[in-house]
Amino acid sequence: MNSFATPTRQTPDAAMLFGFWYRALASERVRHNRLQKAMLLEIPLVIGRDAQGRAFALRDACPHRGMPLSCGLFDGQQLECSYHGWKFDAHSGQCQLIPSLTADQKLRVDRIYAGALACAEHDDYIWVFVPEPGPAGAGATKPEEPPMPAPRVPTFSSAYKLAYLTADMPVNVDHGIIGLMDPAHGPFVHQAWWWRSRHSIHEKQKAFEPIPNGFRMSAHTPSSNSAPYKLLRLYADAESITTTIDFVLPNLRSETIRAGKYWFSSLTTVTPITRNRCRIDVVAAWNIFRWLPFGPRLLKFVFGKFVEQDRRTMELQAEGLKHDPHLMLIDDADRPAKWYFQLKQAYMDARPNGGEMRHPMSGPVTLKWRS
């Protein structure tokens, strides 16, 4: 990379990556014996919770004539389509009953499936595994067994607290993700009197290394502008605090801050809802502030402010993006964004032939920017 490097033209194409787990809904939005609509990667879903409280997810279209199953009845175990009354097992999607069949008609009802998707629930969210789309017109079968478990918020002790935040962003998933990893917008977007002003901008240098399907900002003393760091300083001396930030495909940013036995971590995801809408979900876990009654609320306030500032920025950005302007990525501040696009491309290249994914980074890299 020479010092006169020209900016790279870049228009995110917003391809959505199939074959991964995605956060579908916050757990509290789905009550027992109830159905809730959701959308992931432009796939309409119906998400529910059976009589035992176990979550399930199905494509929100009856395999008979496409009626949304979310319009049907749910008895805590089976969904009944509102059009012709076909019944489906909520977890497997297997058809249980076709009321119009007469006793001598031998149609194999159990070979018919509504499209069930693998579902997992932890850390206050229902996760859904979105498989590669099958061949057109192939019809649904049993839900695909995911090759890996759903991601979790990193935790480092048995007792901890958890909180989450969510915000809809009117931009495609790529803008959501590169906005999340963008170090240069901080002084301009995230100003607050108790936080920082644009004049606190200064030069920074950070080491990055490749990790499977992503990259890591290596363990370092957090930026003095980091919120959890400011709070952790109340508990530990500055030098003992280290932070690690990982980005992993398709959309996972995890941050871990540790100071002796105290820790704070978060797992943020940017989920493609449609081609031009995404949603950011932040789940944080910590074992600090256990004696501070307002700790969780303070944290929610701080994070809520940031997420709202980002959301508002992206709302405005969406105005500018409407007419498809030419965009660019510059070094070094946009290098993480470049790695993201390269990782995504490498994944899409490797996927069809099941080959090894070629990582775009060959080793550790140090980046410099002012923020």
Q: Is 323 helix (H, G, I), strand (E, B) or coil?
A: coil
Interface pick for ligand FES out of 34, 84, 198, 202 (rule CB under 6 A): 84
Return the DSSP state at 199.
G
Compute the distance between CA of residue 248 and CA of residue 245 in angstroms, rounded to an integer: 10
| Per rule CB under 5 A, count of chain residues that contact Fe ion | 1
Residue 310 binding result from Fe ion, ligand FES, none, given CB thresholds of 5 to 8 Å by partner type: Fe ion
Nearer to Fe ion, 36 or 371 (CB): 371
Stretch that binds ligand FES, among 82-90, 104-112, 192-200, 216-224 (CB under 6 A): 82-90
Residue 67 binding result from ligand FES, Fe ion, none, given CB thresholds of 5 to 8 Å by partner type: ligand FES
The residues, ordered by sequence, that sit 6+ positions from 40 with a Cβ below 8 Å of its Cβ are 22, 24, 128, 130, 271, 272, 273
Instruction: Provide the residue count of the chain.
Output: 371
Residue least distant from Fe ion (Cβ): 310
Residue 65 binding result from Fe ion, ligand FES, none, given CB thresholds of 5 to 8 Å by partner type: ligand FES
| Per rule CB under 6 A, count of chain residues that contact ligand FES | 8
Give yes or no for residue 86 binding ligand FES (CB under 6 A): yes
Tell me: cis bond preceding 250? Omega within 30 of 0 counts: yes
Compute the distance between CA of residue 327 and CA of residue 245 in angstroms, rounded to an integer: 26
Tell me the closest approach of the beta carbon of residue 251 to Fe ion, in angstroms: 15
Give yes or no for residue 99 binding ligand FES (CB under 6 A): no
Alpha-carbon distances, residue 317 vs 169, 287, 321 (angstroms): 10, 36, 6
Tell me: cis bond preceding 332? Omega within 30 of 0 counts: yes
- Cα dihedral sign, 19-280-74-34: positive
Compute the distance between CA of residue 244 and CA of residue 256 in angstroms, rounded to an integer: 5
Interface pick for ligand FES out of 27, 77, 83, 233 (rule CB under 6 A): 83
Q: Is 111 helix (H, G, I), strand (E, B) or coil?
A: helix
**Residue 44, burial from CB neighbour count under 10 angstroms (0-12, 13-18, 19+):** middle
Give yes or no for residue 81 binding ligand FES (CB under 6 A): yes
Tell me the closest approach of the beta carbon of residue 313 to Fe ion, in angstroms: 7
**Which of positions 186-225 make contact with Fe ion (CB under 5 A)?**
none
Give yes or no for residue 95 binding ligand FES (CB under 6 A): no
Nearer to ligand FES, 69 or 343 (CB): 69
**Which of positions 303-322 make contact with Fe ion (CB under 5 A)?**
310
Nearer to Fe ion, 281 or 310 (CB): 310
Compute the distance between CA of residue 148 and CA of residue 168 in angstroms, rounded to an integer: 27
Helix axes 173-180, 335-350, angle to 10 degrees: 140
**Which of positions 20-79 make contact with ligand FES (CB under 6 A)?**
62, 64-65, 67
Stretch that binds Fe ion, among 121-129, 199-207, 261-269, 302-310 (CB under 5 A): 302-310
Residue 177 binding result from Fe ion, ligand FES, none, given CB thresholds of 5 to 8 Å by partner type: none
Residues in contact with Fe ion by the rule CB under 5 A: 310
